Amino acid sequence: MSKIGILQIGRYPTWDEGPLNETFEMHRYFEVEDKAGYLADVGARIRGIATRGGLGADRALIDALPALEIISVYGVGYDAVDLDAARKRGIRVTNTPDVLTGDVADLGVAMMLAQARSIVGAHEWVKSGNWASQGLYGLKTRVHGKRAGILGMGRIGREVARRLAAFDMEIAYSDLGPCDVPDQWAFIADPVELAAASDFLFVTLAASEATRHIVGKRMIDALGPNGMLVNISRASNVDEHALLDALETGKLGAAALDVFDGEPGINPRFLSLDNVLLQPHHASGTVETRKAMGALVYDNLVAHFEGRNLPSAVI
């Protein structure tokens, strides 16, 4: 029997590509130059898409695949998948929740610590010989005991908050309503008020049209010249121009960012700032987590084509 055709939108580690190639006829879309010609050629044979969080699958792609049944996303975020287009055609969509939660929270906390204590700059101070030639490094900002705001108390927000509680931080959060979390974590309905009550503000919201630029000028101003924004969600949750303006003028103290508009080609204005920590969208990027994510992408595809329940269905 011929193998089922799957359109692969981006590269995966070899340990994931092995099982996918063995089970399915994988079409390496990301290596194709003439994409329209390729889809006209093989589009009718494609029954599944294997994609990544940032790459998704837009309406034009979904429309070009008449036999499409499932889109399996390597990532918890599925904002780049056109869910309406998928829903209309009864196409299933899966993601990789839970397995990456701890790693994303770890990186968010590490980014806060790194930026507050200037770990990268201090490393350079030692390596460049400045410590020996110029003396002590400048004093930085304390983290423990400060006020943390969590915008989005979902799986990742909770894990960030749990870690911050161990730093004796005061935790407050915004979400659609109060969540089932420890009583000491204060619910603040208005995100602008949350920002005003935070020294470190973590953006941990699942992105959608509704959350686009939720962190805008008002929230950024409320966070203020001593505040730090940590974004480990999606760039679209933050108005990047307002953020850059505030960082450049000192209206916002600092930012630690794992996600950017138009990534990986980020706005060059970020490169001349010294109050930012820039990370290459790798919050889930550990061997352990990426293996679990790849396994889930594969398991969802296999379950679908064997007619079993999907391990992690979005729709």
Binding-site ranges for ligand 8YV (CB under 6 A): 52-54, 74-77, 100, 281, 284
Q: How far is the CB of 304 from ligand 8YV (least distance, A)?
A: 20
Catalytic-residue membership of 281:
yes
In this complex, which beta carbon is closest to ligand 8YV, that of residue 135 or of residue 265?
Answer: 265
Give the integer Cα–Cα distance in Å for 48 and 176: 34
* Of 26 and 222, CB closest to ligand 8YV: 26
- C-beta of 188 vs 283, nearer to ligand 8YV: 283
Q: In the beta sheet, which residues pair with residue 25?
A: 5
Q: Return the closest-CA partner of residue 205 out of 213, 197, 217.
A: 213
Is 33 one of the annotated active-site residues of the chain? no
Pairing of strands 228-231, 200-203: parallel
Active site annotation includes 263: yes
Name the minimum Å distance from CB 51 to ligand 8YV. 9
The distance of closest approach from Cβ of residue 34 to ligand 8YV in the complex, given in angstroms and rounded to an integer, is: 24
Number of residues assigned to the chain = 315
- Out of 92, 158, 281, 290, which one is annotated catalytic? 281
Gap between the Cα atoms of 281 and 232, Å rounded: 8
The distance of closest approach from Cβ of residue 100 to ligand 8YV in the complex, given in angstroms and rounded to an integer, is: 6
Active-site entry in 162, 170, 263, 269: 263
Question: Residues 88, 260: contact at Cβ < 8 Å?
Answer: no
Residues 228 and 112: beta-carbon distance below 8 Å:
yes
CA distance 65 to 18: 24
Residue 66 to residue 80: CA distance in whole angstroms: 20
Q: Which amino acid is it at 27? A: H
Of the pair 48, 294, the CB lying nearest ligand 8YV is at 294
Q: How far apart are CA 315 and CA 313, in angstroms?
A: 5
Q: Which residue in 52, 234, 290, 304 is the catalytic one?
A: 234
Least distance from C-beta 145 to ligand 8YV, angstroms? 31
Nearest to ligand 8YV of 49, 197 (CB atom): 49
The residues assigned a catalytic role are: 234, 263, 281
